[in-house]
Amino acid sequence: MPVKVLIVDDSGFFRHRIEEMLKGDPRLEVVGTAVNGKEAVDQVKRLKPDVVTMDVEMPQMNGIEAVRIIMREAPTNVLMLSSLTHEGARVTLQALEAGAADYLPKDIRAWMDKNSSVRGQLIDRLVALGRTRRFRRSSALERSFPGRETSGTSMVFRPDDPAPTPRTSRPERPAARAGTAAENRRAPVSRPAPAGSSDAPTTPASRVQFPDCKLLVIGASTGGPAALQKVLTTLPANYPYPILLIQHMPKTFTQVFAERLNQQCQISVKEAEDGDSLRPGLALLAPGGLQMMIDPRQKDRVRILAGDERLTYKPSVDVSYASAAKTYGSKVLGVILTGMGADGCDGARLLKQAGATMWAQNRDSCTIYGMPQAVVNAGLADAVLELDDIGPLLARRGAR
């Protein structure tokens, strides 16, 4: 059955443009439209769509408030559409904290260009989100809204839906890596371990031993902002390791996201700049549109570079993992969180070949089980963990 889509936007142009983009793809069916948040809530309850595209700024009720009500009364995956401005990034992150699953920048020039990649991105996200039945009611930060009950970042399911069976995202082409010709050669493919399947059992936290490491590197995509917030807010201010964060986001969004995390966390978080130092208790977030690597000449500093233009993701988890493997070898703990595609799998293979440790988020706690699944299927995960366990396991090492 096709994924049922509800389009919510006060702009007639965008409602028509989105519907036009989705026509012709047999995997999707537009079941209705709404012009404001109040109408969106009513339509979600009546039409029961699989996924909603949601504008942010609308009359009567804005997109953020609509998401809060939808996630409380009729949980449905919501894809936010917002402008590529500082304010657009700020309100989009608020919507993600309220329970929205993902977002897509709303650049009118790209949306009007019939040769743009926006249509493919929109369809890929809607299909992926529409085929999963996991929803976040809200993040822990929603407790700041008085008089509203919250449930943390726990996943919820539609009562009338069968058990979720998310489709594996189509693997991306292997990412090219910056560096010398020798460094850019593809590493030999390792034989998958017996546990390397999409149904690999979740590892009990009590059985996980923290490795001997000097660097923590975390990669994420769809659902990543909420997952990263969940993990990082558990870490103490005196955390003993430097942290690199790679989240698929455009430039404006990474700057705002780093600022929000810095306000929410005990550790320090900043958008990485070329030459920034690696130091304990500091998390450096890769800037959107660029690649973050460790300076091979100064192992305590990062380089922020444009990277290869052929790379699908900017920033790319593969690039940062590969750089960490080359520089720190076995002293790296790599963590792969929720996200579409397979970015991070090639880099995880290099980390494992260097003797490093890899943790992957488990299927049940992912918004989209794509990136972690690729790592698990390749037999590269030392532990497959519930999201709720990852932060406390990391924090336990920091409480010394």
| Chain Cα centroid distance, residue 85 | 20
Distance, CA of 227 to CA of 153 (rounded, Å): 8
Beta carbons within 8 Å of 33's beta carbon, 6+ residues apart? 6, 7, 8, 9, 15, 19, 43
Where do runs of H (alpha helix) occur along the chain?
12-22, 37-47, 63-73, 86-98, 108-112, 118-130, 181-184, 224-232, 251-264, 317-328, 345-353, 371-377, 387-398
343 classed as catalytic = yes
- Distances from the Cα of 133 to the Cα of 58, 76, 161, 167, 192, angstroms: 27, 8, 8, 11, 29
Distance, CA of 357 to CA of 329 (rounded, Å): 10
Residues 157-160: contacts with CB under 8 Å, at least 24 apart = 157/75, 157/133, 158/75, 158/133
Q: Could you say which of 10, 248, 320, 365 is catalytic? A: 248
Dihedral-angle region of residue 169 (phi above 0 means left; psi in -120 to 50 means alpha; beta otherwise): beta
Look at the block and give the residue holding tokens 């726990």: 154
Q: Could you say which of 221, 316, 320, 365 is catalytic? A: 221
320 classed as catalytic = no
Burial of 297 (0-12, 13-18, 19+ CB in 10 A): exposed
Distance, CA of 91 to CA of 105 (rounded, Å): 12
Distance, CA of 125 to CA of 174 (rounded, Å): 20
388 classed as catalytic = no
Of the CA atoms within 13 Å of residue 109, those in its CB half-sphere come to 1
- Distances from the Cα of 235 to the Cα of 9, 30, 110, 166, 381, angstroms: 39, 43, 39, 31, 22
For residue 357, list its beta bridge partners: 333
Q: Could you say which of 9, 55, 102, 343 is catalytic? A: 343
Angle (deg, nearest 10), helices 345-353 and 317-328? 10
Distance, CA of 261 to CA of 87 (rounded, Å): 16
Provide the token pair at 323.
């750089």
Give the sheet arrangement for strand 102-105, strand by strand. 28-34, 3-8, 51-55, 77-82, 102-105
For residue 365, list its beta bridge partners: none
Catalytic positions, please? 221, 248, 343
